[in-house]
Amino acid sequence: MAISKYFVVLILAALAGVPPAAAGNTPTTAKTILVFGDSLSAGFGINQDAGWVNLLQQKLRQNHPDYRVVNASISGDTSLGGRNRIAQALAAQRPAIVIIELGGNDGLRGLPLGDMEKNLSAIIVASQRTGAQVLLVGMMLPPNYGPDYVGEFFTVYGTLARRHRTAYLPFLLQGIATRMELIQDDGIHPKAEAQPLILDNVWPVLEKLLAPPRGG
């Protein structure tokens, strides 16, 4: 099956780091959406302008110009890495919304899910304490990890979303992960052609958190 090829290579791939960057030039008075994730949000292997985070900025310019996007995603990051850097990111950006897209690398490395849950919870709590709204983005693991671990991994995200009352997208790559024509040759990262589809998954959930445009 195509999904097994995607996930087997995903497990073996080594992820390179991508430094945080702001997506596009917007007025400093704009409210900030902080995207806090790993390679799937960092735009690994494609032109940064084609990544879903940059496409989000373009969409906001048209529909919600009061917002700007800052991409603080780092390829290969884990929930612990995110926990260790969230305070600095929040202090620097003072976001109105934080999109948390982390945990996939924890699962692929077989790390304890209890630790992942604690780390993600700490990131959510730190974000909410600043007054930011949170959108938690979930991931899914391949079936070869076993039904118990796969099921428990997926459940972590829903449990956290309910506990902390965050907005929730269960699977970032819904409708994409099994379509190998949309995946790069490394078998892990979505191609540029897949990025609009990722945004299509994120937008309906995110839009509910956005304040009406000024004058709208």
Phi, psi angle pair for 213, to nearest 5°: -60, 150
Q: What are phi and psi of 31, to 5 degrees?
A: -75, 145
Cβ–Cβ contacts within 10 Å for residue 109, how many?
9
**Among this protein's residues, is 64 annotated catalytic?**
no
Q: Which of 39, 41, 73, 75 does the annotation list as catalytic?
A: 39
- Look at residue 147 and give its three-state secondary structure: helix
Instruction: Give the pair of three-digit tokens for residue 72.
Output: 């603080």
Which residue among the candidates 115, 121, 164, 186 is catalytic per the annotation? 186
Measured between alpha carbons, how far is 171 from 138 in angstroms, rounded to an integer? 5
39 is an active site residue: yes
Report the alpha-carbon distance of residue 92 to residue 20 in Å, rounded. Answer: 12
What is the distance of C-alpha 35 from the center of its chain? 6
Taking the C-alpha atoms of residue 151 and residue 140, their distance in angstroms, rounded to an integer, is: 9
Catalytic choice (38, 77, 79, 189): 189
Q: Under 8 Å CB-to-CB from 139, ≥6 apart: which residues?
A: 101, 103, 104, 107, 153, 154, 157, 171, 172, 173
Specify whether 121 is catalytic: no
Can you read off the two tokens belonging to residue 108?
Answer: 């692929």
Q: Which residues are catalytic?
A: 39, 186, 189
